[in-house]
Copies of this chain bind each other. A is one copy, B any other.
Amino acid sequence: MTVHRLADSFVDFRSDNTGAAAPEIVDALAAANSGTAAGYGNDRWTELVQRRFSELFEKDVQVFPVATGTAANALALASLSPPWGAVYCSPKAHIETSEANATGFFGAGVKLVLVEGDYGKIAAPALKTTLVATGIGQKHKSQPAALNLTQATDMGAVYRLDEVRALTELAHAYKMKVHMDGARFANALARLGCTPAEATWKAGVDVLSFGVTKNGGLLCDAIVVFSDGIAEPLAYHVRRAGQVWSKMRYAAAQLLAYVEDGLWLKNAARANALAQRIDSGLKALPGVKRAAPIEANEVFLELPPKVMDGMERDGIVFFRRAPTLGRFVCRFNGNEAEVDALLASLRRNLSAAA
């Protein structure tokens, strides 16, 4: 993690987690701060979370608030796989690139198997090829256990529902379970325009990492369990993983505020719209290659190093994911002026480099 030296005044496209939290969520947390409440989730806020999310997903779901997306992913996958199991994921997946072996840790040795596809997606034919060659039932082979789909993907693309269904059907045909890493689930939903149920269990998802932090939350994400047989053992695992707050109400209050009055979808729609504004602006800059379609709130651009140097000098801050790959993330509370500054800097530095 390179810490960029920031100009006095700069425009921040580093990440959705560099941003502030939604004031509604902070207010709700503060409002929960009165009176006593039973510990470890036996409080009325957490009870309400279970009800509210069950309404939201049109199904009796079990919700486990946890501190981070890494915890959500690793606990979810550990709940789906025996220690000798294999989890299939994209080479771009957060669990592969950015979680410091958390899946192996929580899963007592569970292995990640990489499956190719475009833009951080898994391609169904590639998954099929991998599964066919897997050696089902062979005791010396890690056995297919779970499929990990990141929605939106780590390249800013969004799986269409038919793509999700094709993958989950294949997974289930091999008796695997399906985990959706929804660190940017709201952004995907805003893009797809479907219901939360349609995007998840109706499309074959068994467990969802429900991201909050990147879209206006602060200290809490959640695991949402759709399928049977998962939640009961998971309730022990979250506890032994140190992921159950004794003062759970302050986490539950965040989750409640996040989904209250559609805040999560409003936030996501705003962030996506800013990314779309970049997308539109790029049409006037034909030399710039998008590394993936811009479908959520992340923009990946292939840019010469000199152009990125110049943009940084202009006070545009962002992450360089490779020598010629820049990532620009739009936050729910970003604004059009920031996008326009980004586009102007990009234009200027492209001209200079030409």
Contacts and interface: CB of A to CB of B under 8 A. Distances in A.
Interface string A9-23: 000101101111101
A86 B247 CA distance: 27
A322 B129 CA distance: 12
A109 interface: yes
A66 interface: yes
Contacts of A213: 245-247
B1 A138 contact: yes
A44 B152 CA distance: 30
Contacts of A111: 101, 104, 112
A29 interface: yes
Q: List the number of copies, as a whole number.
A: 4
Contacts of A214: 246
Contacts of A39: 1, 14-15, 17-18
B70 A239 contact: yes
Interface stretch (A173-181, A194-202, A230-238): A230-238
A227 interface: no
Interface string A229-271: 0000101111111111111001100000000000000000000
Contact of A100 (B71, B97, B141): B141
How big is chain A's contact interface, by range? 35 or more
A40 B241 contact: no
A18 B1 contact: no
A40 B100 contact: no
A304 interface: no
A240 B68 contact: no
B100 A240 contact: yes
A210 to B, nearest CB: 14
A112 B72 CA distance: 22
Interface string A196-238: 0000000000000000011001111000000000000101111
Interface stretch (A30-38, A117-125, A291-299): A30-38
A94 to B, nearest CB: 9
Interface string A29-62: 1100111111110100000000000000000000
Contacts of A105: 83-84, 108-109, 240-241
Contact of A97 (B72, B141, B219): B141
A283 interface: no
Contacts of A233: 82
Contacts of A101: 83-86, 109-111, 142, 240
B133 A322 contact: yes
Contacts of A83: 101, 104-105, 108, 237, 240
Contacts of A97: 141
A92 to B, nearest CB: 13
A143 B236 contact: yes
Given A106-B242, A139-B244, 7 more contacts: A1-B140, A17-B246, A17-B247, A67-B67, A100-B240, A104-B109, A108-B108
Interface of A: 1, 3-4, 12, 14-15, 17-21, 23, 26, 29-30, 33-40, 42, 66-75, 82-86, 97-112, 114, 133, 138-143, 213-214, 217-220, 233, 235-247, 250-251, 322, 331
Q: Top 9 nearest A-B pairs by Cβ distance?
A: A71-B242, A104-B109, A17-B246, A100-B240, A67-B67, A105-B109, A70-B242, A108-B108, A12-B36
